[in-house]
Chains A and B, each alone.
Chain A
Amino acid sequence: MNNTLTIAWKELKIYFQTPTAYVVSAMFVMFAGITFILNVIGTNPEATVRSFVVPSSIFYILLAPLLTMRLLAEEQKLGTFELLFTSPVKDWEVVIGKYIASLVTLIATLAATLYYVIMIYAFGEPDSGPVMSAYLGMILYGAAALAIGMLASSLTSNQIVSAVLGMGTLLILTFIDTLGTRLGGVTGDIILEISMRTHFGDFARGVVDTSHIVYYLSIIAVFLFLAVRSLETRRWR
C-alpha cells in the first residue's frame, strides 16, 4: 500500500509540474462550460446538471486517454520500468498507484466544473439528489475510461499509439449503443449493455442503480487486471 501511494504521489507531482494535465483539463472545463451556456440560453433552460453533464461525458473519449497515455508507455520508453521492477515493488502496485494519480486528476477536473453547479444553485432551484448522482456517475464513468486508458498505455511504449488505442476503444464503447438500438432483439440488448453511455443515463437522471455501479466497477477491474498482465508478459518476452 505504501508503495502504491508513493507511486501515486510521484505521478501526481508530474501531472502538476507538466502542462499536459492542465491543457486537457482546461479543455474539458471549457467544453462543459459551452454545453452549460447552450442550456442556459436555450429555449427551455433547466435547473439541472444533466444538461451539461451528459454532453460533457462524451469528452471523456479524449480526456481519459490523454491523461493515462504517459503513465505506463513512458516508463517503457525511458526504460525506467527496469528500475521499478527491480525494486521491491509488485507489478500491481505500480499500475494501481499510477491509476490513482490519474483518477485524482480527473476528480480535480470535475471539481472545477462545480462552478457551473454553483451558478445553477444561485439562479435556480435544482434538485440536489440528481446533482449528486450525476457527479457520482461522472466519477464512475471517468474511472472506467481511465482504466481503459491504462491498458492502452501498458500495451505500447509510444504515447501517441497509446492515446489513439484508448480513444478508439472509448469511442466504440460509447457509441455502440446506437448499433444496439438499431439491431434490437437479444443481440441489441447485449450491445446496449456493453455501451458505457447506456449505464450513465440513469445517474444523470438521478437514479442510482446498483447494476450500473457494478458495470463500471467491473470495467475498472477487468482493464486494470489486463494492464497488470500485459506488463508482466512484456518482461517474459
Chain B
Amino acid sequence: MIELDSITKYYGNYPAVTDISFRVEKGEILGFLGPNGAGKSTTMKIITGFMPPTEGTCTVAGNDILTNSLEARRHIGYLPETVPLYTDMTVSDYLEFMGKIRGLKRERLHKRVDAVVQICRLEEYFDTFISKLSKGFRQRVGIAQSIIHEPDVLILDEPTIGIDPIQVVETRELIKSLGGEHTLIVSTHILPEVSMICERVIIIHEGQIVAVDKPENLATRLRGTERVELDVKGPTREIVSALEKVSGVESVNRKSSLSDKGYSSFEIEATRGLEIRSDLASSIVNNKWDLLRLEAVGMSLEEIFLRLTTTENDTNKTGNMSVGEVSQSE
C-alpha cells in the first residue's frame, strides 16, 4: 500500500532522514517510533506528498507521490502533529469543507460528516466554533477530518499528544478500530502506546531506521540473555546455590522477599536461546520448596529503545531525553 525506496531529505545541508526504505501492507498498523527530531514527521510529510524528498521515491496505492500526486493524495488521510484547524469555522462547516475538497459529493458528504461526528463523539459540538474547543476535542476534530473520505491510507502524527489520559485511551481504541479497513502509520514517542496499537514497529533515530519488527519480537531480538523471574518459599541461600547449578544459568539475583508469606523473588539470567524454565521448576520441586510463580520476562520497549538509540557517547543526551519524556507523557 505504501512503499518508500531510499528516501533522503535534506533541510539545507542538514539531513533530516537518510536512505529510508520500507513497505506497509494493506490493513496493517505500523508504529513509527523515535525521539523528537528523529525524522518521523519529515517522513510522514514526504509520504503525504506535502514535502518532496531530496532523493528516492515514494508510492501510495501504486501512485508515485511526486509524478501522480493528486491520485496518490486521494488515498490519504492525514493528521499532522500540530492538528491544523480553521479556528474561525464551526466543527460542521470544517468537516464539510474537508470532505468536499477530498471529493465527497452531497449525499455521501452528509452521511460521512454524521458518521465521523459519531465515531469521534463530537455530536454536542457540531455547531461550535473550533476556537472554543479544548485541546482534546480539537484532536478529535483532527482525526475526524482525516477519516472523513474513508482513505485507504491513514497517517497520524503523534495522535495522542497533549490530551488527557481518558481521551488517550479512547483515541487508542479509535485508532485500533480503524486498522483493518485502513492502512495506518502512527508516529509516537510514547513507547507503551506502540505495543498497544501497532502490529509492526519501525524505530527511527537521527534520520535512519535502526530496527523494524513486531513489538514482541524486538524484545526477543535485543535481549542478550533469557530472563526468568520466580517466587519461591524456602531457605534463600540454598535456593540460590541450587538454581545456579541448573545448566545455562548465568546469574541468580534475589530481588525481594514477600516476607509475610515467606516467599522470595529471584531474577535469573540464562544463556540466550536456552529454555531453562522446566529445569528450574524441577530443581525446586526436587528440593521440596514451594514454587509460587515462574515467568519469562521480556525487555520493556523503553529498554529496547534506549539500547537501540543510545550509543556510548550520547548516552546522556538521548537517553535522558527520551526517558524523561516517556515518564512525563505517561
Q: Hey, which bits of chain A sit against chain B, CB under 8 A?
A: 2-3, 6-7, 10, 13-14, 17-18, 78-90, 235-236
Which residues on A sit within 8 Å (CB–CB) of B50? Answer: 82, 85-86, 235
23 A-B pairs with CB atoms under 8 Å apart are A6-B97, A6-B100, A6-B101, A10-B89, A10-B93, A13-B89, A13-B93, A14-B86, A18-B88, A78-B86, A80-B86, A82-B45, A82-B48, A82-B50, A82-B84, A83-B84, A84-B101, A86-B50, A86-B78, A90-B70, A235-B50, A235-B51, A236-B51
Partner of B89, one of A6, A14, A81, A89: A14
User: How many chain-B residues does the 8 Å CB contact rule pick out?
Assistant: 28
Q: If the complex has contacts A10-B97, A80-B86, A87-B73, are A236 and B80 also in contact, measured as CB distance less than 8 A? A: no
Q: If the complex has contacts A14-B88, A82-B45, A83-B145, are A88 and B103 also in contact, measured as CB distance less than 8 A? A: yes
**B82 at interface by CB-CB < 8 Å:** yes
The majority secondary structure among interface residues of chain A is helix
**CB-based contact A79/B88 at 8 Å:** no
**B200 at interface by CB-CB < 8 Å:** no
Partner of B98, one of A3, A18, A83, A236: A83
Which residues on B sit within 8 Å (CB–CB) of A84? Answer: 101
Partner of A83, one of B71, B80, B88, B103: B80
**B31 at interface by CB-CB < 8 Å:** no
Distance (Å) between the CB of A144 and the closest chain B CB? Answer: 27
In the complex formed, the residue of B with least CB distance to A87 is B101
**CB-based contact B73/A88 at 8 Å:** yes
In the complex formed, the residue of A with least CB distance to B102 is A87
In the complex, A85→B48 CA distance in Å? 9
In the complex, A87→B79 CA distance in Å? 12
Which residues on B sit within 8 Å (CB–CB) of A83? Answer: 78, 80, 84, 98, 145
**CB-based contact A7/B101 at 8 Å:** yes
Extra contacts, 4 of them, besides A6-B97, A14-B88, A82-B84 (Cβ < 8 A), are A79-B84, A87-B98, A88-B102, A235-B52
- Which residues of B in the span 86-128 have a Cβ within 8 Å of any Cβ on A? 86-89, 93, 97-98, 100-103
In the complex, A10→B92 CA distance in Å? 12
Which residues on B sit within 8 Å (CB–CB) of A10? Answer: 86, 89, 93, 97
